[in-house]
Amino acid sequence: MKIVLLSFILCCSLCVHAQENYEIQVYGAQTQQKNSTIFELHSNYTFDGEREIVKGVRPAYHALHETIEITQGITDNFELGFYLFMNYLPDYGFQVIGTHIRPRIMAPAKWNLPVGLSLSAEVGYQKATYSSETWSVELRPIIDKQWDKLYVSLNPTLGIQLKGVEKQSAPAFAPNIKLGYAFFKNISLGTEYYGDLGPLNAFEKGPQQSNALFAVLDLLNNNKWELNTGAGFGLTPATDGFVFKVLVGRKIKWK
């Protein structure tokens, strides 16, 4: 099974439009615990990326993307998340560019499923000068599994444009995959794949697809802190060439 999953990830990485760098994360199926909150800061810096304005969207080259994410556990199987997106470019300064809201529901443990399963729906706005999709909806099924020290998560995401620079013909298919192995007691090393293959009814040709592969480190077995960091490399001309990301989270349990 491990060999099959690893082969699948490598095949996908050989097969995303310009990648959105505000939230570079593959989700796990577990929702936030009831009566608890996690405060997260996503920080991503594009060392090598698009240098020109494309269809009114400002370039990603040397852009610092900062996202504040706050997720509240509502019930044992339901959470609500809020995002605030920010951007810094040397030629344009610091900008607050949009917000999203994200409800997510998880399959109850009493169902005894062989895998973790949840579904999130993210909706919100971003400025047209920073995103070709100003209003959008993201539907993200999440399937994950832990085998001893090996962890795998699959997010076969669908992006639906409500308003944007160009008319969208169909939802875009953007698969995200994570593979991690606990080489140490509290640290996992692995890889994350981020793709955007284009509209479901007409996938983009290879060079126009977005395709990025990250080498990542994750903090394990910590009830208070979350850490995910790594370097990402674009594998097609439409993808940012080199991005470094750091995600830090602080969990709080409300009595």
Percent of the chain at pLDDT > 90 equals: 82
Determine which of 29-38, 160-169, 210-219 has the lowest per-residue pLDDT on average.
160-169
Domain extent at residue 56: 2-226+238-244
- Asked, for residue 232, whether it belongs to a domain, the answer is no
Do residues 2 and 205 make contact, with C-beta atoms less than 8 angstroms apart? Answer: no
Mean pLDDT rounded to a whole number for the chain: 91
- Asked, for residue 169, whether it belongs to a domain, the answer is yes
| Spatial separation of the C-alpha atoms in residues 125 and 128, rounded to whole Å | 9
Q: How many domains does the chain have?
A: 1
pLDDT of res. 55: 84
Percent of the chain at pLDDT > 70 equals: 92
- Asked, for residue 173, whether it belongs to a domain, the answer is yes
Instruction: Name residue 228's beta-bridge partners.
Output: 218, 247
pLDDT tens per residue, range 161-184 = 999 888 888 999 999 999 999 999
pLDDT of res. 20: 64
Q: Once rounded to an integer, what is the mean pLDDT over residues 45-55?
A: 92
Which uninterrupted H or E stretch holds 14? helix 2-14
Instruction: State the CATH number of the domain containing residue 93.
Output: 2.40.160
Query: Which residue from 24, 11, 100 is spatially nearest to 63, judged by alpha carbons?
Result: 24
- Asked, for residue 174, whether it belongs to a domain, the answer is yes
pLDDT tens per residue, range 89-100 = 999 999 999 999
Per-residue pLDDT band for 105 (boundaries 50, 70, 90) equals: very high
Instruction: List Cβ neighbours of 96 (8 Å cut-off, separation of 6 or more).
Output: 84, 85, 86
| Spatial separation of the C-alpha atoms in residues 65 and 88, rounded to whole Å | 7
- Asked, for residue 251, whether it belongs to a domain, the answer is no
pLDDT of res. 233: 97
Q: Answer whether residue 137 shows pLDDT above 80.
A: yes
Parallel/antiparallel/unpaired status of strands 64-73 and 78-89: antiparallel
| Greatest C-alpha distance within the chain | 54
Determine which of 76-90, 149-163, 193-207 has the lowest per-residue pLDDT on average.
193-207
Q: Answer whether residue 14 shows pLDDT above 60.
A: no
- Asked, for residue 30, whether it belongs to a domain, the answer is yes
pLDDT of res. 21: 78
Q: Answer whether residue 227 shows pLDDT above 50.
A: yes
Q: Contacts by 100-104 with C-beta closer than 8 Å and gap 24+?
A: 100/124, 100/125, 102/71, 103/78, 103/79, 104/31, 104/78, 104/79, 104/80
Q: Once rounded to an integer, what is the mean pLDDT over residues 50-65?
A: 92
Phi, psi of 246 (to 5 degrees): -140, 125
What is the DSSP code string of 94-156? EEEEEEEEEEEEE--GGG--SSEEEEEEEEEEE-TTT-SEEEEEEEEEEEEEEETTEEEEEEE
Q: Once rounded to an integer, what is the mean pLDDT over residues 42-53?
A: 94
Model-wide pTM > 0.85: yes
| Spatial separation of the C-alpha atoms in residues 229 and 241, rounded to whole Å | 17
Q: Answer whether residue 17 shows pLDDT above 80.
A: no
Q: Residue 213, SS3?
A: strand
Instruction: List Cβ neighbours of 135 (8 Å cut-off, separation of 6 or more).
Output: 123, 124, 125, 161, 162, 163, 164
